[in-house]
Amino acid sequence: MKTVVTRFPPSPTGSLHVGGARTALFNWLYARHTGGRFVLRIEDTDTKRSTRASADAIFESLEWMGIDWDEGPYFQSQRSALYAEFIEKLLSSGHAYYCTCSQEKLEQMRRKAMAAGGKPKYDGTCREKKLPPADGAVVRFKAPLNGRTVLPDVVKGNIVFENQELDDFILARSDQTPTYNFAAVVDDITMGINTIIRGDDHVMNTPKQILLYQALQTELPVFAHVPMVLGSDRSRLSKRHGAMSVTAYRDMGYLPDAFINYLARLGWSYGDQEFFTRQELVEKFQLANIGRSAGVFDPEKLLALNADHIMAANPRELIGPIRPFVAMHGFEVKDGAFIENVIRTLQPRSKTLKDMAADALFYFQDDIAYDSKAAAKFLRIEALTPLKELIAALQPIERFSERNLEAAFTSVMERTGLKLGKIAQPVRVALTGRSASPGIFEITEIIGKQKVLKRLRSAIEHIENLT
């Protein structure tokens, strides 16, 4: 059995977005599932729009997603000699010819064809002239005038194209740069690509590419055209649907494993399972499970899945990912039990790493700023006695464990006759500045004795200043 070789060939004309990221993921997953190879190719023959900065942004996005490549990155702009060699092969075999028709003549053809109710295609003026190379000449493919071209697609089934509907399409422009369909086929042949998974917006390109494979006497690859990703209104996905560049999701605090989990489910399924680890995706990804219906991008589902992945992660695994978000607030995250415990308390309530970092600030701060509503409601004169009693109960404790802290709170309840809520809420605001937080014993233990006592005294001073 042949080794599966897939590829991802983005054009470096901007950032990598959801649709392209899903294409890269499907090709990577299939290569990894089958023990094959994944090739990265940069299709930068559009010199006016292609930039190195865009290529670097694509690499950065793939690396964040955890998509590694076995070969490449290859740049089409560095493969001109190879394309020229294949042009000569097609010219020599009679499958291509030079065309010197001017733009004005081509426009006349277009108008004439449309007026007759036909397609605005090239009429074959230079097809049999056997013209030599000339300045300004293009090279066209000599497409068959009758018969059919069949696209065998593992997702959509066989798709049949009437050859008379096809054009003598251009292979090399007047400046000798290759066109997309020609360069892609040459690259796929020379790189040994035998499985092509891509969006179904490429279906109309495929009959031209099949004709090139046949002219070059090369076996066809497996084609799998995946339905496009749509917005909630079933139109083509765009920013107005909430879709952004891959790095934007990274910067918003999404986990790469959650992101690829969601992308995989846009057009692929494995029963009713929604949550997948990276390893599960690799183990279970099959072309047969790609659906024919378009995937609809839902930012809320992605956010919910991200929360699930945060909750399922080992806290230690989240230290590195959360570090830059905490750093944005001016604090440094060091490896160890402290940050692991901080993360553990926040996992159930965090949808993104950005949320988690913001909610974690009270653990790092020296001075707590009170939320005005929380302070007005809970830091009142009646809280003075339980706060002072709690300080007295905590001071003798050498080890701040959950059991010892619970005993201290219980003793305050007994001495004051107050229920836990009446004590815990003023303490919560004193320690965090807010009325909502993880469990009071958990946060008290993590913050530590010195900071806890300091914050309780600051809360008492705050109340006494008000009165």
Say what the pLDDT of residue 113 is.
Answer: 84
326 and 401 housed in the same domain: no
Choice among 2, 105, 129, 239 that is catalytic: 239
- Residue located via tokens 């899903």: 22
Sign of CA dihedral 79, 83, 89, 92: negative
Whether 9 and 41 have beta carbons less than 8 Å apart is answered as yes
Q: For residue 417, is it within any domain?
A: yes
Domain count, the chain: 4
301 catalytic? Reply is no
159 and 270 housed in the same domain: no
> Encoding tokens for residue 376?
């007005």
Interacting residues of 418 by C-beta distance below 8 A, sequence separation 6+: 386, 412
Distance of CA 71 to CAs 42, 189, 225, Å?
Answer: 12, 15, 23
CATH number, domain with residue 388: 1.10.10.350
Q: Smallest Cα–Cα separation from 20: which of 9, 5, 35, 31? A: 9
Listed residues 226, 253, 286: the one ending a domain: 226
> Encoding tokens for residue 65?
């997603």
Say what the pLDDT of residue 240 is.
Answer: 75
335 and 436 housed in the same domain: no
Task: Specify burial of residue 417 (Cβ count, 10 A radius: 0-12, 13-18, 19+).
Answer: exposed
Q: For residue 321, is it within any domain?
A: yes
124 and 260 housed in the same domain: no
Q: For residue 38, is it within any domain?
A: no
275 and 332 housed in the same domain: no
212 and 161 housed in the same domain: yes
CATH number, domain with residue 287: 1.10.1160.10
One pLDDT digit (tens) per residue for the chain, 467 residues: 699 999 999 999 999 999 999 999 999 999 999 999 999 999 998 888 999 999 999 999 999 999 999 999 999 999 999 999 999 999 999 999 999 999 999 999 999 888 887 788 899 999 999 999 999 999 999 999 999 999 999 999 999 999 999 999 999 999 999 999 999 999 999 999 999 999 999 999 999 999 999 999 999 999 999 999 988 888 877 767 777 899 999 999 999 999 999 999 999 999 999 999 999 999 999 999 999 988 889 999 999 999 999 999 999 999 999 999 999 999 999 999 999 999 999 999 999 999 999 999 999 999 999 999 999 999 999 999 999 999 999 999 999 999 999 999 999 999 999 999 999 999 999 999 999 999 999 999 999 999 999 999 999 999 999 87
85 and 219 housed in the same domain: yes
Q: Taking CA 35 as the corner, what is the angle to CA 181 and CA 63, rounded to the nearest 5 degrees?
A: 70
Domain carrying residue 221: 80-226
Q: For residue 273, is it within any domain?
A: yes
Whether 40 and 55 have beta carbons less than 8 Å apart is answered as no
pTM more than 0.85 = yes
CATH number, domain with residue 358: 1.10.8
89 and 199 housed in the same domain: yes
> Encoding tokens for residue 108?
């006349």
CA-to-CA distance for 416 and 418, rounded, in angstroms? Answer: 5
CA-to-CA distance for 365 and 357, rounded, in angstroms? Answer: 12
Q: For residue 63, is it within any domain?
A: no
Q: For residue 49, is it within any domain?
A: no
370 and 319 housed in the same domain: no
251 and 176 housed in the same domain: no
Could you write out the three-class secondary structure of the chain?
CCCCEEEECCCCCCCCEHHHHHHHHHHHHHHHHHCCEEEEEECCCCCCCCCHHHHHHHHHHHHHHCCCCCEEEEEHHHCHHHHHHHHHHHHHCCCEEEECCCHHHHHHHHHHHHHCCCCCCCCCCCCCCCCCCCCCCEEEECCCCCCEEEEEECCCEEEEEEHHHCCCCEEECCCCCECHHHHHHHHHHHCCCCEEEEEHHHHHHHHHHHHHHHHCCCCCCEEEEECCEECCCCCECCHHHCCCEHHHHHHCCCCHHHHHHHHHCCCECCCCCCCCCHHHHHHHCCHHHECCCCEECCHHHHHHHHHHHHHHCCHHHHHHHHHHHHHCCCCCCCCCHHHHHHHHHHHHHCCCHHHHHHHCHHHHCCCCCCCHHHHHHHCCHHHHHHHHHHHHHHCCCCCCCHHHHHHHHHHHHHHHCCCHHHHHHHHHHHHHCCCCCCCHHHHHHHHCHHHHHHHHHHHHHHHHHHC
CATH number, domain with residue 140: 3.40.50.620
Q: Smallest Cα–Cα separation from 34: which of 69, 75, 79, 3? A: 3
CA-to-CA distance for 314 and 317, rounded, in angstroms? Answer: 5
Whether 188 and 221 have beta carbons less than 8 Å apart is answered as yes
Q: For residue 232, is it within any domain?
A: no
**What order of strands is seen across the sheet that includes strand 222-226?**
157-162, 148-153, 222-226, 195-199
CA-to-CA distance for 45 and 107, rounded, in angstroms? Answer: 25
CA-to-CA distance for 81 and 264, rounded, in angstroms? Answer: 38
Listed residues 364, 381, 406: the one ending a domain: 364
Whether 199 and 24 have beta carbons less than 8 Å apart is answered as no
Listed residues 311, 331, 346: the one ending a domain: 311
Q: For residue 57, is it within any domain?
A: no
CA-to-CA distance for 148 and 207, rounded, in angstroms? Answer: 9
> Encoding tokens for residue 445?
């233990």
176 and 162 housed in the same domain: yes
210 and 301 housed in the same domain: no
